[in-house]
Amino acid sequence: MNQKWLHGLPVVLLLVVVLFGYSTTVDSAFDAWKQQFRQVAIKEGIHAETVDRALRGLVPDKKVLRLESHQPEFTKTVWEYLETAASTERIANGQKLLRDYAPLLQRIHAQYGVQPEYLLAIWGLESNFGSHTGRYSIVRSLATLAYAGEIERREFWQKQLIAALRIVQNGDMPPISMQGSWAGAIGHTQFIPTTFESYAVDFDGDGHRDLVNSIPDALASTANYLASSGWERDQPWGFEVRLPAKFDWSQADVDFWLPLNIWGKIARVTAVNGQSLDSSTSNAFVLLPAGYRGPAFLALRNFDAILKYNNAQNYALAVGYLGDRIQGKPPLLAMWPKEDVPLSHAEKVELQTLLTAAGYSTDGLDGKLGPNTRAAVRRWQMDNNLPADGYATLQHLNALRQRVAEKTAN
């Protein structure tokens, strides 16, 4: 392009030229991706006409990419999360639905063994009982992410897109109903397409598995997922406990399971409701979502089943707690350490960096306090004569910073 001609253009017109050229480049690259994806999808059994109809006129959704890359500076503390998840309004709505859908929930319970209150808890957390199922086009969102999402996740998104097209092709849900979250989750209880294919059921008997327009299908599919993930019929997810003063905090670990009667007799753990643990051989682990200064729980196998649905301990705890409250159980007795200041994303990365440099590898610097980071924090706490609960605080970060400052000074 002639540079002199460009300099003579009005600013507004020049901007139009630049933007048009950029748009053409993006469209050209996306069109090339669509052609490549078309071949892959057809090899996976998707009919050519299904692919063509889904991709015709499709352009990337920039908002989806912004949402994928967005990293909030602070995340909610567990007590803030639970306060929202199990709000007074949501508990009341759940209890009303427990009555309104009693016959349906009883039939689902009889077939899958999942207590109704926990199905309602998942429904409440995932879509606020169907009021927020999402308005993003599933196909457009997944195509956008498969084309331009995080590189290491593009294969996953492409797999989800093929599954979404298969759902349409099989006639389970019409294309107009394929709307959901920006990340491609569908319906009242937010199944991703591959989960839909594996666990969705036609519970209302109309010949289609429809998680958007059929509440029976959505709730029964969720129960099927939990049952297939190891849900133990009519057993609790866990319960609040009191730990003895001299409890070995290193035993509060997701990998340290003991029968309930051993926790009771030998470790002197007691249920806050006075229930005896002596007669049960069900295995459980001690869960300390806010460290040794917050509430303590014994989590059973059904807690693990909830984690298969969403692999976040706070989520699984929220499902269990909201379900308990819908059932009519009382609120927690122990107090949360609300004076704790949550770590920002940058501070979590710094914590991981300092722990790894000190010889306590976190297996990555992702700013997420997952099991590897909790294990590293626990090892550091043990070596520094601190309660080894694996719960990271600002005080811990400051102590690690101080060690670095002292080494630098020396």
Within 13 Å and on the Cβ side, how many CA atoms surround 219? 29
Two tokens at 321?
A: 């707690």
d(Cα 137, Cα 129) in Å, to the nearest integer? 20
- What's the predicted TM-score (pTM) here? 0.90
Nearest to residue 300, comparing CAs of 326, 312, 315, 282? 282
Q: How confident is the model at residue 9, as a pLDDT?
A: 45
| pLDDT by position in tens, the chain (length 410) | 444 444 544 544 444 444 444 455 568 899 999 999 999 999 999 999 999 999 999 999 999 999 998 867 667 899 999 999 999 999 999 999 999 999 999 999 999 999 999 999 999 999 999 999 999 999 999 999 999 999 999 999 999 999 999 999 999 998 889 999 999 999 999 999 999 999 999 999 999 999 999 999 999 999 999 999 999 999 999 999 999 999 999 899 999 999 999 999 999 999 999 888 988 999 999 999 999 999 999 999 999 999 999 999 999 999 999 999 999 999 999 999 999 988 999 999 999 999 999 999 999 999 988 889 999 999 999 999 999 999 999 999 999 999 888 888 87
Q: How confident is the model at residue 25, as a pLDDT?
A: 57
Cβ(181)–Cβ(207) under 8 Å?
no
What pLDDT, in 10s, does the model give residues 205-221? 999 999 999 999 999 99
What pLDDT, in 10s, does the model give residues 81-94? 999 999 999 999 99
Q: Which position has the token pair 């609300």? A: 338
* Bridge partner residues of 259 (DSSP): 283
Sign of the dihedral through C-alpha 205, 208, 214, 217? positive
Nearest to residue 258, comparing CAs of 286, 239, 289, 292? 286
Angle at 105 between CA 99 and CA 109, to 5 degrees: 135
Q: How confident is the model at residue 371, as a pLDDT?
A: 87
d(Cα 126, Cα 257) in Å, to the nearest integer? 29
Two tokens at 390?
A: 């694996």
Q: How confident is the model at residue 21, as a pLDDT?
A: 47
